Amino acid sequence: MSDYYNPKRSKKYNYGGRYWKLSRSKIDLFLECPKCFYIDNKLGTKRPPGYPFALNSAVDQLLKKEFDLLRADGGTHTIIKEYGIDARPVNHENLDEWRENFKGVRHTHKKTGITVSGAIDDLWINSKNEYIVVDYKATSKNEEITALDKDWQDSYKRQMEVYQWLLRKNGLTVSDTGYFIYCNGRTDVEKFDGKLEFDITLIPYVGNDSWVEETISEIKELLEKDEVPKADPECDFCNYRKRVNELLDKF
Ligand code: SF4
């Protein structure tokens, strides 16, 4: 078994356990498949994760450093100027905690008692004193990335909306407009020379967090049931699992 995956994790991390909380990625899993969500959070076995991409983390760290330098002296960034945006990186006494993966921005939802969490990448502010959620993304695609128009990018939009909701619940006035900083690794340069070059684009997204509260209530309702939800008949993973079980049953 790899260092990254334990199919038999401690019950303390299941719903009702001391360490269980609802991260924004768990909310996304619920929306993708309630059955997988239930098996993970109630029964305690999650799907094997996508393995960490060290290059993505390196880009995140470098962007954080770059924006932190500006945050310290109240400056703005060339990309903010280039796009003519009313914003600057801002400090907040809780920012370090809000950026930490196992802490993040947290809020306990009154109606369900569920604690929701999510770690933001960056926080900016505009001249109306509205906080702005900023998320970094790193990839390598042949085309220029200027919009979030692919189906799979809906999860990025939901991610932004959960962060906006969490910050609002922590008492901040938050702009509906957040930004994705997209770093696209270039493969069209003549020589590598041990350096990876990136094209950086800034993509605005106007969020709407009105779905979040209702979804948390639906999650609570599901987790209180002693019944595993139905699988999606179109899901390749489940069809694979079913077929493997059928084959192995013959032995
Ligand atoms: S259909 Fe099955 S494998 Fe697919 S996401 Fe749902 S429970 Fe998981």
- Return the DSSP state at 174: B
Helices 24-32 and 154-169, packing angle to 10 deg: 140
Residue 85, token pair as written in the block: 């945006």
pTM over cut 0.95: no
Enumerate long-range contacts of 232-239, CB under 8 Å, 24 or more apart. Answer: 232/33, 232/35, 235/33, 237/47, 238/35
With a 6 Å cutoff on the Cβ, whether 62 touches ligand 1 is: no
Report strand pairing: 131-139 vs 122-125. Answer: antiparallel
* Nearest-angstrom CA–CA distance, 120 and 68: 14
- Span 133-187, pLDDT tens digits: 999 998 888 888 888 888 878 999 999 999 999 999 999 999 999 999 998 888 8
Which of 35, 42, 236 has the most ligand 1 atoms within 8 A of CB, as the residue to mutate?
A: 35
pLDDT digits (tens), the chain, 251 positions: 677 788 898 999 999 999 999 999 999 999 999 999 999 999 999 988 876 677 788 888 999 999 999 898 888 899 999 999 999 999 999 999 999 988 999 999 999 999 999 999 999 999 999 999 999 998 888 888 888 888 878 999 999 999 999 999 999 999 999 999 998 888 888 888 888 888 899 999 999 999 999 999 999 999 999 999 998 888 888 899 899 999 999 88
Answer for the pair 161, 28: CB distance below 8 angstroms, yes or no: no
How far is ligand 1, taken at its centre, from the CA of residue 249, in Å?
A: 20
With a 6 Å cutoff on the Cβ, whether 31 touches ligand 1 is: no
Residue 86, token pair as written in the block: 């009313």
Q: What is the chain's Cα-based Rg? A: 20
* Nearest-angstrom CA–CA distance, 22 and 116: 5
Residue nearest atom 2 in ligand 1 by C-alpha distance: 238
* Nearest-angstrom CA–CA distance, 249 and 251: 5
* Nearest-angstrom CA–CA distance, 41 and 14: 5
Residue nearest atom 3 in ligand 1 by C-alpha distance: 238
* Nearest-angstrom CA–CA distance, 116 and 161: 13
